[in-house]
Amino acid sequence: MNQQTTLFSNEKLMAMIIPLFLEQLLIMLVGMADTLVVSYAGEAAVSGVSLVNQFNTIFIYLFTALASGGAVVISQYIGRKKNDDAGESASQLLSFSTIFSILIAVMVLIGNEGMLRLMFGKVEDSVMHACITYLRISAYSYPALAVYNAGAALFRSIGKTSVTMYLSVISNIINVIGNFIGVFVLRAGVAGVAYPSLIARTFSAVMITVLCFQRKNEVFYRCKWIFRWNVDFMKQILKIAIPNGMENGVFQLVKVALSGIVALFGTYQIAANGVAQSIWSLAALAGVAMGPIFITVIGQCMGNGDADAAEHNFKRLTRITLLISSAWNLLIFLLTPFFMKFYALQPETKRLVIWLVLIHNVFNAAAYPFSGALSNGLRAAGDVKFTMYVSVISTIAVRLLLSWFLGIVLKMGVIGIAIAMVCDWSIRAVIFFWRQKSGKWKTFQVI
């Protein structure tokens, strides 16, 4: 048994997977609590927060893509036993993330109303006022989000995912308590929900940055690295981050387009799709949580020049992902009729939700581990352009165009859109599985 296989024992993998899964679950539950609390501030507040969150997601994905690029580089340097280079890469990631997020925040603060009207058209004045208030406060938190993601990339790269989990627990407690105070005590409406998020994100950013300076970590920040621009390290990070960011950007734009298609199908289908999507997000947690694990493990193996260990761990992690994802998706499907009791929906709407969840969960268990989590492993090995091209083409040609054909032309409605989504996953799954089997990814270099 080689060194990298031994390094990532089953016990160590579980110690990485469980905190990441719990962190993602907590974030989702708090998001649901946020929606519940803000509903007491009025319909305009709910609409404003919902619309702005779609807008915020674009930037959150950009910061995540940047952090993922940093995680790949950091992991590969750790695999090479070059911890100083890993630390300098992490420090450069922090510098660039801070500057980039500040520029984005300034841009949004200057042009917020124009951007919102361009995206959402002529919504009611009360809703637009709520949107503007929420977006402005959200923009202040962009640097905190980017800084936190940079620190999280470092800790996940060294396998200490419990650190981000504990920080997430504390920050989300701050957020929930703040929401209750803001909405029910101060009666501040949208601002009563936005400011607690800003405070919680700032807390997380400050705490993880302090922890990243601790020299007891095998990789850590240094001030001299943060304030010294290193073009080579940034090129390595952006080599991964830019294709990943473009891929995520196209995905978000397609999601917006699909929202417009869903709006054509009538009230009961729109309601069913909205409820199903909230359950889908919960069901997808297992596959999403495994993505950073692939980056850390495959990145370290490839950084060490041990392609055989990387191939072994590709198979191993894929088996684990399939097992966890299958069990979790089955559990969520079995709980779906119970969830339906909390929604005031017509019987036909509830039946449609259950069908949508069934379609999603079957393929989320069988195909998504290959189209989602496994593709992160290919990126960690440096095979970023191939994964980007496949994902972008499949998202547009399969998910978007097939949604239009099945949903509108064949009049299948939201069922057609769900089928198009799982077809997208299935095609990507087959291509990425073939790519991993081909061994072509072994020829790429990140550092």
- This prediction's pTM: 0.91
Burial class (CB in 10 A: 0-12, 13-18, 19+), 252: middle
pLDDT at 5: 52
Residue (of 312, 319, 427) closest to 1 by Cα position: 312
DSSP 39: G
Show Cβ contacts of residue 348 under 8 Å, excluding neighbours closer than 6 positions. Answer: 268
Show Cβ contacts of residue 159 under 8 Å, excluding neighbours closer than 6 positions. Answer: 12, 15, 16, 296
Those residues of the chain that have pLDDT short of 70 are 1-7, 120-123
pLDDT at 42: 78
Question: How far is 61 from 179, CA to CA, in rounded Å?
Answer: 24
Structure tokens at 379: 């990126």
Question: How far is 66 from 27, CA to CA, in rounded Å?
Answer: 20
Q: In angstroms, how far is CA 225 from the centroid of its own chain?
A: 28
Structure tokens at 203: 């807390």
Sign of CA dihedral 355, 356, 360, 363: positive
pLDDT at 48: 81
pLDDT at 34: 75
Q: Which residue in the block uniquely carries the two structure tokens 């992991």?
A: 75
Percent of residues in the chain assigned helix, strand, coil, to nearest 5: 85, 0, 15
DSSP 305: T
Question: How far is 326 from 397, CA to CA, in rounded Å?
Answer: 27
Question: How far is 96 from 94, CA to CA, in rounded Å?
Answer: 6
- ∠ CA 152-321-302, nearest 5°, is 60
Question: How far is 369 from 375, CA to CA, in rounded Å?
Answer: 9
Question: How far is 258 from 275, CA to CA, in rounded Å?
Answer: 16
The backbone torsions φ and ψ at residue 150, rounded to the nearest 5 degrees and listed phi first, read -65, -45
Question: How far is 133 from 137, CA to CA, in rounded Å?
Answer: 6
